[in-house]
Amino acid sequence: MPVVDYKKYCQMLDNAKKNKFAYPAINVTSEATANAVLSALAELKSDGIIQVSTGGGEFASGQSLKDAALGAMSIAQHVHLVAEKYDINVALHTDHCPAKKVDSFLKPLIEESRKRVAAGMKPLFNSHMFDGSELPLKENMDIAVDLLKQCNELGIILEVEAGVVGGEEDGVNNEGAPAEKLYTTPADMVEVYKRLSSVEGARFMFAATFGNVHGVYKPGNVKLRPIILKEGQDAVREKFGADASFYLVFHGGSGSSLAEIRETLEYGVIKMNVDTDTQYAFTRPMVDHFFKNYDGVLKVEGEVGNKKVYDPRNYLKKAETSMKERVKQAILDLRGEGKTLGR
């Protein structure tokens, strides 16, 4: 099916919230990694989200250009073309854009969508994330509200963050963040809802923090407090009425137990970012391939090697398959299997 339009994307998010499951939002950096996600979603009859970070966009544009917006456009166009051949719904999203990169990353992408919409097409991306968590909350929301207005005009959903996801991931480094910054307060959640809901008719997602840490950690090393999400949602409903609540996003999930992941689904998490684990899944079979075929991938002692094993397609197929299996695990963890909305 085609990449979704605004109406279908809203239906996807409503479906997840109502039925207490979440979509895996998988960071991709290439055609091969995007293909792995689409294949996994199709095999488990799950809808999902493919996302590109600033670092992923830079990589996709090539080392000579390092143009994050251009690379993101390239990946998005590939997904728009290939998704037509799959019988599931997929949304396109951009991940973690800090304030200093809004002008070089988000605004060119929004402008590209503006051109497409003016020509009668869907926007290039269905949603964008502005990460203003390093800013004071008022400044964070001032920028977010302006971006939300622009996105809403084009049928694009905005994701924001308040509080800090610890650790380091894809150029976003919060390893020295104070402990209290790792937990969004109910008061902050009320303020975020107040500011964003002032944009009439707009849809938005919120990455509240509850001890999340980017990177690789064994289960038990990350001190999550999912109950913070419930407390924040309760505060929002108390202030704005029973129908008021967030679409919540879970960042920094590596090392989280299945019980912790599933608990967040009870509190309104409808999207969980997955990157570190799929990076490893993509790389692991290539390492195995090179170790097992050392004298084939290298021209050792004047020999010619073995083209069948040093052809990149050989090991990249293995990498794509391995990543696909890890995405399938994420779908199952988030209770998303068999829940595609279809056309």
Q: Give the tens place of pLDDT for each residue, 41-86.
A: 999 999 999 999 999 999 999 999 999 999 999 999 999 999 999 9
Mean pLDDT to the nearest integer, 262-270: 97
CATH of segment(s) 6-287+320-333: 3.20.20.70
* Residues in contact with 14: Cβ distance below 8 Å, sequence separation at least 6, in sequence order: none
Question: Which of the residue ranges 74-83, 218-227, 250-259 has the most confident prediction, judged by mean pLDDT?
Answer: 74-83
In 3D, which of 115, 124, 111 has the Cα closest to residue 2? 124
Other Cβ atoms closer than 10 A to 145: 17
Amino acid 34: pLDDT = 98
Q: How far apart are CA 317 and CA 289, in angstroms?
A: 11
Bin 283: left if φ > 0, else alpha if -120 < ψ < 50, else beta: alpha
For the chain, strand residue ranges (E) read: 23-27, 48-52, 90-98, 127-131, 157-162, 166-169, 172-174, 204-208, 213-214, 247-250, 269-274
Residue 255 confidence (pLDDT) above 80 = no
pLDDT at 179: 56
Buried b / exposed e along 95-123 (16+ C-beta atoms within 10 A): bbbbbebbeebbebbbebbbeebeeeebb
pLDDT in tens, 139-168: 999 999 999 999 999 999 999 999 755 444
Res. 215 pLDDT band, cuts 50 70 90: low
The model carries a pTM of 0.92
Residue 181 DSSP symbol: G
Residue 169 pLDDT more than 50? no
pLDDT digits (tens, 9 = 90+) for 84-108: 999 999 999 999 999 999 999 999 9
Of the listed ranges 108-122, 250-264, 319-333, the least confidently predicted one is: 250-264
Retrieve residue 231's tokens: 């407390």
Counting residues of the chain whose pLDDT is more than 70, the rounded percentage is 91
> Could you tell me whether strands 48-52 and 90-98 are parallel, antiparallel, or unpaired per DSSP bridges?
parallel
Query: Token pair for residue 267?
Result: 């509190």
Which residues neighbour 205 within 8 Å (Cβ) at sequence distance 6 or greater? 13, 127, 129, 157, 158, 159, 160, 246, 247, 248, 249, 270, 271
Cα gap 125→77, rounded to integer Å: 10
Above 50 in pLDDT, residue 174?
A: no
For residue 126, pLDDT over 50 is answered with yes
pLDDT of 238 higher than 80: yes
Query: Facing residues of 213 across strands?
Result: 166
**% residues pLDDT > 90 (the chain):** 83
Q: Walk across the sheet containing 172-174 and list its strands.
A: 172-174, 166-169, 213-214
Spatial separation of the C-alpha atoms in residues 217 and 200, rounded to whole Å: 41
Token code pair at residue 29: 């950096």
Instruction: Judge whether 67 counts as a catalytic residue.
Output: no
CA angle 121, 3, 264 (to 5 degrees): 130
Annotated catalytic residue within 67, 95, 275, 333: 95
What pLDDT, on the 0 to 100 scale, is given for residue 1?
82
Q: 190: which residues sit within 8 A by CB, 6+ positions away?
A: 232, 235, 236, 239
Place of tokens 């595609």: 340
Give the pLDDT confidence of 186-208 residue by residue, as tens digits: 999 999 999 999 999 999 999 99
Whether residue 336 has pLDDT greater than 50: yes
- Strands 166-169, 172-174: parallel, antiparallel or unpaired by DSSP? antiparallel
Cα gap 140→210, rounded to integer Å: 19
